[in-house]
Amino acid sequence: MLNTENLGSTKKNPHQKIIFTGPVGSGKTTAIASISDIEMVKTDVKASDIAIKTKSHGHTTIAMDYGLMHLDDGNRIDLYGTPGQERFSFMWDILTHGGIGLILLIDDSRKNALNDLDFFLNSFQIFLEKCPVVIAITKVDVNNTRTLKNYTEHLQETKYANTPIMEIDARKADDIKILLKSLLFYIDPGLEE
Amino acid sequence: MNTQTISNPSFVNMSHGISFPTITTKQPIPKKVKQVSYNNTDNTSFDINQGLLGLFKKLYLQQQSAIIDLDEKHRGLFYLKTKDNILYIRTHKNNIKIICKQSISVSSRELEEYSFDAKQLTNIRAKVHLDRFIWIISLLTAKGRLPKHIDPNKTQLRLKHWPNLSRYKIIPSAIQLAAFFSQTPTSVAMAIKMLGCKAEDIHNFISACDAINILETTHKDKTITSLNKELPSKNRGLLTGLLHRLFK
């Protein structure tokens, strides 16, 4: 099935977008901030429930984060971060509309990180039928309870066995660039560097 | 809407069903296709199962913790805790380079994990992730060559899963190669032809993936001359623009 809607005419949709998602505290806001050309637009509030346990700065995203990258030809790529909490999941469909790919960040320090992986892949299932996902494992040095192999073995049993997956530090722009390059080459391995 | 649609179903799979619009006025750059010829007598292959790399590859595959010695004096240059993906190194990095380059033989003995205490280990030069170390010594050993069990024309290669590229020593074109070989089982020669990457980079990448046991190989009787899936031939304006931005 062709997704002409996602990469439509430049007149209708002059800018394309990449979506960052994942559970609360997985590093979505930080990841976007590390590569955005503009100061992030945030919609965060003081975390009041479970989110506060995973947020060192005590704030969590409730609607979206927004950043962008300017391209040489005048085009731009919009970067959207979804809220991590499931109760704001109505925003997920809205934000993925017109996206070209998904970056899924999984916080390895969470007890049920593998369940988080399944949950988010399942939640974005319709979008992922048309667009690729790249999986980024964050905070791997916090508990050292799992290795990347645990995730790749877990994915082997799913349709996402070939999906790009790697450890990252969301604060490091170079790591986020590798994620985005992986997404682009996964869409089209024939791209010229 | 100026959208290029593709009727080839194989391409639809490859591109995740995305059709790409004409976004810039620039024409796509024609792919530089390299003609590659291999002969069996030149120095383009090596035995990946020999020497230090061969031993690490075997122990990693078997998930076997071990101590690696250079000679019979049992000085223990490397202590591998394979299940934890940890390696303790007790020799200088220059020695490691020499061992790899000169294919010096090494031996291993069992590491009894229940009685092993890393705190009692003296002269530890480094504690590293085992898979990252194997990736590095595969590059030191391969030096742009291909493992000899892989026929560049007839062995079909596929990645079992994506390598942890953000944490491995950089190989030029590694991300592109990972994307290609994880989705398109094919030969080394076809990859060079289709992607235009340097043969040495592909050889190093394949050697490293083989060493960490994420490479699946299938030998074909005839030279592989086509891809199971076609590469997209769409307008790549937006993706190329973003890629260039990321390489800045």
pLDDT digit string, tens, across residues B124-173: 999 999 999 999 999 999 999 999 999 999 999 999 999 999 999 999 99
User: Is B32 a residue whose pLDDT tops 80?
Assistant: no
Instruction: Name which residue leads in pLDDT, A23 or B223.
Output: A23
Which residue has 């609607």 as its token pair? A63
B179, closest residue in chain A (CA to CA):
A186
Residue-wise pLDDT for A63-84, tens only, equals 678 999 998 888 899 999 998 7
**Confidence at residue B229, expressed as pLDDT on a 0 to 100 scale:** 66
Buried/exposed code over A122-151 (b: 16+ C-beta within 10 A; e: otherwise): ebbeebbebbbbbbbbbbbeeeeeebbeeb
Chain A residues 110-129 with CB within 8 Å of chain B: 129
**Confidence at residue B72, expressed as pLDDT on a 0 to 100 scale:** 72
Residue-wise pLDDT for A117-137, tens only, equals 999 999 999 999 999 999 999
Residue-wise pLDDT for B39-96, tens only, equals 544 568 999 999 999 999 999 999 999 999 987 777 889 999 998 899 999 999 999 9
Q: What's the mean pLDDT in A6-18?
A: 58
Instruction: Name which residue leads in pLDDT, B93 or A15.
Output: B93
CB contact under 8 A, B236 and A164: no
Q: Which of A12, A146, A162, A175 to mutate to test the interface with B (most CBs of B within 10 A)?
A: A162
- Residue A189 at interface with chain B, using a CB cutoff of 8 Å: yes
**Confidence at residue A31, expressed as pLDDT on a 0 to 100 scale:** 96
Q: Which pLDDT band holds residue A93 (cuts at 50, 70, 90)?
A: confident
Mean pLDDT of the residues in chain B: 82
Q: What's the mean pLDDT in B200-205?
A: 97
- Residue A157 at interface with chain B, using a CB cutoff of 8 Å: no
Q: Which pLDDT band holds residue A58 (cuts at 50, 70, 90)?
A: low
Q: Which of A7, A144, A151 to mutate to test the interface with B (most CBs of B within 10 A)?
A: A7
**Confidence at residue B19, expressed as pLDDT on a 0 to 100 scale:** 39
- Residue A178 at interface with chain B, using a CB cutoff of 8 Å: yes
- Residue B173 at interface with chain A, using a CB cutoff of 8 Å: yes
Q: Nearest 10 degrees: CA dihedral of A157, A158, A162, A166? A: -80
User: Is B2 a residue whose pLDDT tops 80?
Assistant: no
CB contact under 8 A, A190 and B165: no
φ and ψ of A62, to 5 deg: -110, -25
Q: Alpha-carbon distance B111 to B86, whole Å?
A: 13
